[in-house]
Structures are given as structure tokens and as C-alpha cells.
Amino acid sequence: MLMTRGVSDVFLAVSASASSRSPAPPALATGRRLFSALLPPSSSLSSSNRHFGPRRRLGRWSSTMAARAAAQRLENVDELIDSVETFLFDCDGVIWKGDKLIDGVPGTLDMLRSKGKRLVFVTNNSTKSRKQYGKKFETLGLSVTEEEIFASSFAAAAYLRSIDFPKDKKVYVIGEDGILKELELAGYQYLGGPEDGDKKIELKPGFLMEHDHNVGAVVVGFDRYFNYYKVQYGTLCIRENPGCIFIATNRDAVTHLTDAQEWAGGGSMVGAICGSTQREPLVVGKPSTFMMDYLANKFGILKSQICMVGDRLDTDILFGQNGGCKTLLVLSGVTSLQMLQSPSNSIQPDFYTNKISDLVTLKAAAV
């Protein structure tokens, strides 16, 4: 079983140092303490509209990041590799695009492993469980274990474990199979998911939609079967069930369903629920440091010895910077060089390069 009691212990230890706040339902109060370190000291957590997602942190970080030096093009590969114990890789746009492996990835991963580096794959995509992602890596010819994979579907279940979410409560899922499988592994009751994709609301005069009052959390992730039924059901749970927690796996604007173009991401589903509930979610995926804290504790590594490699500035790079890690932006996915160097961009990675195989080619060129 992938989910163990140890997950709860790790995150309770992380959140134990947070200061006491105003009274709130036990699970929600614990969740707030866990994320309080991401908010400015003057922030009050009493508001039901407190934002835990990227927009809140982007507002905070924009003033501090503006003073950062412009990102350097990666040249001294050996210096970077020697200073890092663990490489965290985003998947979409870094390892693959859609179902197509990006050129040079296998050789790069093999080179890093030969140097004794720990490799961990951190993805905001919640459509698959860790086990399912393991099969995708295998299909693409990459040897990666489940212990090296951390998807936001896993993070959602891990968060619930960390706050001792009651097992007699239910979770309503707006998302796909990955979230359901991770919740099942964690021992939680759930409803919703893909099977609600075919449900419709027949609006008649006086129609009242019923919902389960025992739902204690709504988890929203990327959902190709998103519809009005799910919006209304999730809205009712969050607005009418006392203490119901609103969790987002991520707020990515776009994703790579195919390698031909960008597609609307999980942030579009989360945004719909934000609009209807006037509530902001607890975000467990990047750029929240939730998964970073877990990884640092699980493997016993210093964050200063981690390098986050990703293709998105506002999730991957911000995730690394929020966690105090080195950051490497690759231009093989969402972010272009023009976007990186735009005067309006305040998020600057330590280094940037075209794709991760540059770790091999640049190293060879320097010999």
C-alpha cells in the first residue's frame, strides 16, 4: 500500500511549529496552520476568502523577485551537478509532451543516476495515481519506481491524512481516476469523479438539487468530464456543509494533453468552483511547498541540495524558490525565452537551458 501512517506523521511535524489561530473546524484549522508559512506575517486567516493558490503567492513574490538577477544561461554543468544531491523534475514539458518523450531524456537520467543523484518526478497532473504514472514511464522506456513519483493526486490524499481527516466523512471529487485511486489507497470514502460526467441537471420550476451532507472535503483537479452537475454539487458541499474543505490539486492554466498544442488546465476547473463559492482553495500541488516539505522529510535531504527542473515559471520555478532550492528552467514546454526575458516577468530561475539533455551535451562540450 503506497499510503502509510508515516505520511501523516511527516506533515504533522511540518505544521507543528505554526502558531495558533482563531477557532475553526479541526481539519480546516490544521490545514491553515500547514500553509500559514506561505503567507505574509500580517495576514489574517479568519477570512473565508483567504487564497492559498498561486495568485496569492505571486502577489507576495512579485515584489521580492523583482530584485533577483536575471537568469543565467546554463554553461557550467559540472558545477550545478556537483552542488546538488537531488533533482526534482516536472513531467509535462520536461520529460514528455502528451505521450511523446522529449529527445535526450533517457541518456540524461542515466547520466545523473550514474553520478549517484537522486531523481524525483513531481507533477501537478492529477489524472493518474503514482502507480498509473509508473506505467506511463515504463511505456516510454524509462525505469522509474513509484517511490520516485509524486503527483498532485497523491498530495491531495496525503494532505487529508496529515490533518487526520475523519474516515467517516466523504470526499467529493471533481477530477479523474488518479485522485480516486489515491483516496482509496488512503482509506477514504469518495463520490463523484468520472462517473458524474454523464449526469445532467433538468431545470424545472422549483427544482432543488440534493447533495450528501456528510461530504467533508471537495477535491478539484483536472477533469475532462467537467460539467454543470459537478459545479453545482461541489458548490453545495462547500457552501452548505459546515467545515467542508476546498482542496485544489493545482491551478495550472494550461496542460499538454497532446504535443500539438496547449490545452486548458486544471486551473480552469478550480476557477469555476472559486467563482461559484466565493472561496479560495488549499492548493497541494506546485507552487505550494507541501510536496517539497514531504520530500525533504522523507529522504532526509537539505533543500539547498535540491534542484527543481521545470518548464513553468509560476509553478515549477516558484515551487523551487518557495522551498529554498536551486532552480533550472527548460524551454521545452510552456515558457519561451521571450516570456522569461519579458520586463513583466518577475520570476527568474537560477539557470535556464533549452531542454534537460543539455546537461549531457553541454557537459560533453566542456570536456
Q: List residues with catalytic annotation.
A: 85
282: which strand partners? 247
CA pair distance 238, 295, nearest whole angstrom: 30
CB 286 within 8 A of CB 92: no
Q: Helix and strand tally (H, E) in the chain?
A: 14, 16
311-350 b/e (C-beta count within 10 Å ≥ 16 → b):
bbbbbbbbbbbbbebbbbbbbbbbbeeeebeeeebbbbbb
72: which strand partners? 351
Number of C-beta neighbours around residue 137 at 10 A: 20
CA pair distance 335, 47, nearest whole angstrom: 34
Instruction: List C-alpha distances in Å: 71 to 310, 328, 332, 338.
Output: 14, 9, 16, 13
Q: Which of 73, 53, 84, 35 is nearest to 314 (CA)?
A: 53
CA pair distance 174, 337, nearest whole angstrom: 34
Q: Which residue has the cell 452548505?
A: 240
